[in-house]
Amino acid sequence: MNEIINKTIDLDQQLLVFLNQLGNEKWDSFWIFITNPLHWIPLFFFLFYLGFRVFKFKKSIAILLYTSLAVLVSLGLMQLIKTSFERLRPIHDPTINTLIRKIIDTDGFSFISGHSMVSAAIATFIYLALKQHYKYLFLIFLFPLLFAYSRLYLAVHYPIDVFLGLLLGFIIARLLYVLIKKRLETK
């Protein structure tokens, strides 16, 4: 079993080095911009507006609150996972940090990517709540994909951290939506 885990970690590191080396200085500022959660606030206002157009104020606030609950659950689970595994970020891991471009510095642990988990939870919940009203709403998934890739580009997470973050964010939002779906439909 240890051999499988070690091989997986080795492949994870190799993939990160490959992806990180694809970057260049011309794109660095773009990905630094993308990785900052504050820069996504206009998207959140736009999504609230889309909900408001369909559901008016009361149900839009309910969707906002349930989306916030998905975010809180994601953040809580992320913190639990990070403190349980304590995996060093690539930029701080001596086995790999000399092979990658260090563009930004951040503290904390790598596994699991909170950016990926939270963005996937937001996108999934909003998509499930509004998909029958907007034909191109699937484009909302560009948000977590760009956000997640920025974490790889900047070498602050490994691919497994990002992939599992996206997956858990999706699962959290999906489960929460299933639990409250009837409540949203009746308001």
Indicate the pTM of the whole model: 0.91
Per-residue pLDDT of the chain (187 residues; tens, 9 = 90+): 789 988 999 999 999 999 998 988 999 999 999 999 999 999 999 998 998 998 888 888 988 899 999 999 999 999 999 999 999 999 999 999 899 998 998 888 999 999 999 999 999 999 999 999 999 999 999 999 999 999 999 999 999 999 999 999 999 999 999 998 877 766 4
DSSP of 4-29, one letter per residue?
A: HHHHHHHHHHHHHHHHHHT--HHHHH
Q: What are the residue boundaries of the structural domains of the chain, listed by start?
A: 29-186
* Contact between 113 and 148 (Cβ < 8 Å): yes
C-alpha–C-alpha distance, residues 118 and 98, integer Å: 29
C-alpha–C-alpha distance, residues 44 and 18, integer Å: 32
Which of 126, 15, 14, 20 has its CA nearest to residue 68?
Answer: 126
In terms of residues, how long is the chain?
A: 187
C-alpha–C-alpha distance, residues 79 and 46, integer Å: 29
C-alpha–C-alpha distance, residues 144 and 113, integer Å: 11
Gyration radius of the chain's alpha carbons: 18
